[in-house]
Copies of this chain bind each other. A is one copy, B any other.
Amino acid sequence: MIRDVDWSLYRSFLAVMEAGSLSAAGRRLRISQPTMGRHIRTLEAALGQSLFLRTPDGLSPTDAALALMPHAEALADAAGALTRAASGGRDAMEGNIRIAASEVTAAEILPPIVRGMMDRWPGLVIELAVSNSDEDVMRRAADIAVRMAPPRQDALVAARIGGFELGLYAHPAYLRGRPPVERAEDLRGHRLIGFDRPFAYTDLFRVAGKRIARDDFALRSDSDMAQLAAIRAGCGIGVCHAPLSGGLVRLLPADFAPEVEMWLLMHPDLRSLSRFDHVFAYLADALARHIAGPGGAAS
């Protein structure tokens, strides 16, 4: 049936899918547009189905192409993981490492830690990717991930870093001149900051047993970083990691104090490269110390 498709063709396919045109894809892969066109034509011939409709302003994918897309991405993830694994020496602390974390983690927690890593191992090249699912590690789109929940995938190297509290916080400037928040009912009439789309966290948002729904929020954002920034800017009352709450005022600590676990994940295939183990251990240690710091220490 289908035989011996050159893997480079898949690469060109993916590039065209992402870039939207032969020319743009060619630029990205540093090959010429005619070559790119030939690759796609060859691939279509090999697979026996047409993958793109040629239009004056690019190639638009057929349904068949869309169906193949996730597989092509998996291929790219695996190729990326291989290149990262091959970068640097066998046991040397050099080469690329891709770390995935949530926005807040990447922006607020990791930078000083990464700084320390880079100082200690100057040969390392760190890539920070923002994402929220363990899938990244399973799919090898990232080597190591920091997550705020236990892994839902078996077969991953996982370390529980520790637990910390979430809390309701507001900036003093917001609270000034507004009715005090002393009981759960006092939240009515206040500006609440929360998620836009339902998330894992959504269920956590219960104050004194009552669930805060989407409509109760005066400011909605799916970016936890934007939420944090909004709280700090005095936009209203929102949820924030206790260890990150410096300068903010905690509200209703008795009514809202859900605990969150921090986990570190790694793909088992990376254990054979010692630098991943070292970075994993370094991160686990540094994150544990971060949690144990101000407001943490719940584990």
Contact = CB atoms under 8 A, between A and B. Distances in A.
Given A152-B154, A153-B153, A82 B87 contact: no
Nearest to A273: B67
A89 B47 CA distance: 10
Which of A7, A10, A153: most chain B Cβ within 10 A? A7
Contacts of A11: 7
B49 A89 contact: yes
Contacts of A67: 85, 90, 272-273
A71 B85 contact: yes
B64 A82 contact: no
A273 B68 CA distance: 9
B140 A74 contact: yes
Given A68-B86, A71-B82, A138-B138, A7 B4 contact: no
Contact of A10 (B29, B79, B96): B79
Given A138-B155, A155-B153, A90 B78 contact: no
Contacts of A47: 83, 86-87
A79 B155 contact: no
A81 B71 contact: yes
Contact of A78 (B30, B71, B85, B273): B71
Chain copies in the assembled complex: 2
A89 B10 CA distance: 18
A72 interface: yes
A78 B81 contact: no
Contact of A135 (B49, B78, B155): B155
Given A7-B8, A70-B269, 8 more contacts: A1-B87, A5-B83, A7-B11, A71-B81, A71-B140, A78-B78, A138-B138, A153-B153
4 closest A-B pairs by CB:
A152-B154, A7-B7, A71-B82, A70-B269
17 contacts: A1-B87, A1-B88, A2-B87, A4-B29, A5-B83, A10-B79, A10-B82, A47-B83, A47-B86, A64-B90, A70-B269, A71-B140, A75-B78, A75-B82, A77-B78, A135-B155, A138-B155
